[in-house]
Amino acid sequence: MRSNDKMNLLIAVHSHQPEGNFEWVFAEAYEKAYLPFLTILQQHPDIKIALHYTGCLLDWFAAKHPEFIKMLKRLVKRGQVEMLSGGYYEPILSLIPERDIIGQIKLMNEKVKEFTGYSPSGAWLAERVWEPTLIKPMAKAGIRYTIVDDSHFANVGEKPDELSGYYVTENEGQRLLIFSGSERLRYSMPFKLPNETINYLKDLRNKGIPAKVFADDGEKFGIWPGTFKWVYEEKWLEGFFNALEAEAEWLNTMTFSEYIRKYGPTGRIYLTCGSYREMMEWSGGYFKNFLVKYPEANNMQKKMLYVSERVAATDSKKALHHLYKGQCNCAYWHGIFGGLYLNHLRSAVYSNLIEAEKAMDAITHKARPWVDVKAFDFDSDTYDEVLVSLPKLNLYFSPHNGGSLFELDFKPLSLNLTNTLSRRKESYHEKLSKPKKSEPDSSVQSGGPPSIHDIVGVKDKGLTADLNYDWYKKVSLLDHFLREDTTVKDFAASRFSEAGDFLSGEYNYEIKKSTKPESLTLRLQREGNYFSVSGEKHKVKVIKSIKIDGADCATELNYEVINLDSEEISPRFGVEFNYSLKDPHLNHVGEVRNLRNININDQWYGIKIDFEFSEPTSFWYFPIETVSESEGGLERTYQQLSLLFHWDLKLAPKEKWCIRIFKNIKVTE
C-alpha cells in the first residue's frame, strides 16, 4: 500500500427475522431499525454499502411496506447499495442438502433481481457458519464471494489485524472469494464513538492495511437493547456517516464487487469449519454440536432432511416452498438469542415441514385412504425408529428409547403436538447467582450502549426457583416405575429416581396392519427390572399396543404389566405424555385421583385431546418452563404441558394388570 493510497472500509449489514416470528416483532424492527437506517443512508449518497435482507423480510416488506423496496431499488440504481444473496429463508447451509443450498440461493438471486433490478454476485452466509464443502454449491448457484469473520482466518494461523481485502479458496475445482469481517469493528460499531472507529482505521492505514470489513446484523442499529436511543435519537449513525465523509481524503467506502473489480486477491486461503467467535463458544467449537447438545434440534433437522428427500422426488412447488421455510435456521440452535428455546419458532419449522408433507401426500395418495409405515434409522443413532403416517396423523416412535412417541403431528392444523423441550443446564444459569451488571448511560460523553454480548441481565423475576433439569427426554408414551414416596412436586422438578429400567430401555416391536386401510397396531414390549424399596430386583414385562385409527384421529393404548417374578411386587406404574399445548386449567402443579376421563383444551391452537380410561386413574399435571438467555436477559419460557397417569399396583407372581386408554384429537369449534 502506497502512502497516498486510501483506506477502504467495506460495510455489509444483514437483516433477518425468523419464519414464524410474531408480527409485532417484524413491525417494531422495521420502525426502529430497518426504515431509519435506510432513511439516513439515502441522505449520504457517498456512503456505499452492501445490504442483505432475508427472504422472510423481503416477503414481509413486499406485503406490508412496498415503499421500502422502492427505496432500496433507488439506492441500488444510483450505485450506493449492493444487494447480497444467500439462502432465501436463511438456512444454515451446512445443515441442508446441496440441492437445497443451490435452490435457496437461486431463489434469492431471482427475488433480489425482481425487487431491485440487481443481480447479486455475493452471498451472506447465515451465522457465518463455514464449511469447505459449501464452496461447490455456492459457486454452482452463481455466487462469486462471501464474508466470514476474522476468527475463521485466525483458526488457520492468520493475524486478524493484518487481514485485508479478500482471499481465494476452492474445492473440487470450484472457486470462491472470501472477505474477512473484523470482530473489533463488530464491537465498536455502533457501540463506540465514531472517532474511535475512525482512529482505528487510520492506525491500520498507517500500518499498510488497505481495506477492512464490517459485517454484522442490522438489528444492532436500533433493536438491540439501548441502541435505538443511541443510534438515532442521539444520532450515532448520522455522526458516523458524517465522520466517514469528513475523512474522505484518506478513507473510502465502496461495495464488495467494486473492490474485487479494482483490487486483486490478498492471497490463497483454506479455512477450517467455523463461525464467529461467540458462536464457536456456544456450539462447543463446531456448529453441528448443537445437534448433540439438543436432541430436539437433531430430531427437527432429521425431519427436515427426511422431508427434503421426499420433496426431491416430486415436482411440487408448494412442497418445495414450505420445505425452504422449514429450513430457517433460528430454531435449530441457541446462543444469545432465544432460538431453539422459542417454541413458536420450532412450531413454525414443524408447521412448514408438515405442510410440505401434506402437499406431497395429496400427489402420492390423492383422496384414497392410506397408511404408510417405515422402520429405519431416522435420527442417525444406528437404531431404527418407526414412522407411521396417515392422512391426518404422523406418529414417530423410538423403540430403543423406552418405546416412546417423539413426534405426533396433527395434520389438519399442521401442528406437531410433541414439539417439546427438556430442561437442561446452561452455562449462563450461573448469572442468576451473580449481581446484575449495570448498563452504562448511552450518551455521547460516556460512550454507547453495551454490546448485546456484554449484557448480563435478568428479564423475569424468581428464575432461580425454576432451575430444574430433566435427566431424560421429555417426549411421550414414557413408562415409569416410581417410588411410593415420589410426589407430584418431585416429579415436576425432575428430582426423583426410577424404580425400573423401562424409561429409556429398549423395546421390541411388531407392526400389525389392519384390514382397514387407515389403521394399524404397533406392539411394543420389554422384559426388564423393577427394584423394590429394599433394593431387590424383580423381573417385569411391559407390553403396550397402540392401535391407530387415522380416519378419526383416535388412538387406543392397551397396557399390560406382568410380574414375571416368584414374589409379589407393589410398584407405582405411570405413563407420561408431554404436549406442546397450554390449557389454563392445567397451568400449575396439580394432581387428581380416581378419574376416568380428562380433556386438554388449547384455545390458542383450537385443539382438544380427550383421554378415557378403562380403570380409575390418578393424574399428575404441570407446565414445563425453561430458563434461557435472550437479548433482553434471562427469561422464563413456557414449553409444554406434562402429564403423568399412574396406578398403584399389587401383583402376585405371574399376575397381569391391564388398562385401556382411549385418546382422541379434535379441532375445537
Cα end-to-end distance, the chain, whole Å: 72
Which parts of 78-223 fold into alpha helices (H)?
98-116, 135-140, 150-154, 183-188, 194-206
What's the length of the chain? 669
Q: Assess whether the previous peptide bond of 391 is cis (omega < 30° from 0).
A: no
Q: Which residues of the chain form CATH 2.70.98.10?
A: 411-425+460-667
Distance of CA 243 to the CA centre of its chain: 39
Marked catalytic residue, from 59, 217, 591, 612: 217
pLDDT at position 456, please?
55
R_g over Cα of the chain: 28
Total-model pTM: 0.95
Residues of the chain with pLDDT under 70: 1-4, 435-447, 451-457, 459
pLDDT at position 296, please?
98
* Grid coordinates given for 270: 483454506
pLDDT at position 483, please?
94
pLDDT at position 454, please?
61
The pLDDT tens digits of the residues spanning 239-291 come to 999 999 999 999 999 999 999 999 999 999 999 999 999 999 999 999 999 99
Marked catalytic residue, from 127, 150, 426, 629: 127
Q: Which residues of the chain form CATH 3.20.110.20?
A: 16-282
H/E stretch holding 435: none
CA distance 181 to 212: 7
What's the one-letter identity of residue 178? I
Q: Is residue 100 annotated as part of the catalytic site, yes or no?
A: no
Residues 6+ apart with CB under 8 A from 234: 442, 443, 444
pLDDT at position 307, please?
98
Which parts of 567-635 fold into alpha helices (H)?
none
H/E stretch holding 255: none
CA distance 608 to 602: 6
Its CATH class, for the domain covering 411-425+460-667, is: mainly beta
pLDDT at position 438, please?
45
The second-level CATH assignment, the architecture, of 16-282 is Alpha-Beta Barrel (3.20)
CA distance 306 to 484: 43
CA distance 527 to 536: 16
pLDDT at position 4, please?
66
Residues 6+ apart with CB under 8 A from 250: 6, 7, 202, 205
3-state DSSP call for residue 351?
helix
The pLDDT tens digits of the residues spanning 116-169 come to 999 999 999 999 999 999 999 999 999 999 999 999 999 999 999 999 999 999
Q: Is residue 127 annotated as part of the catalytic site, yes or no?
A: yes
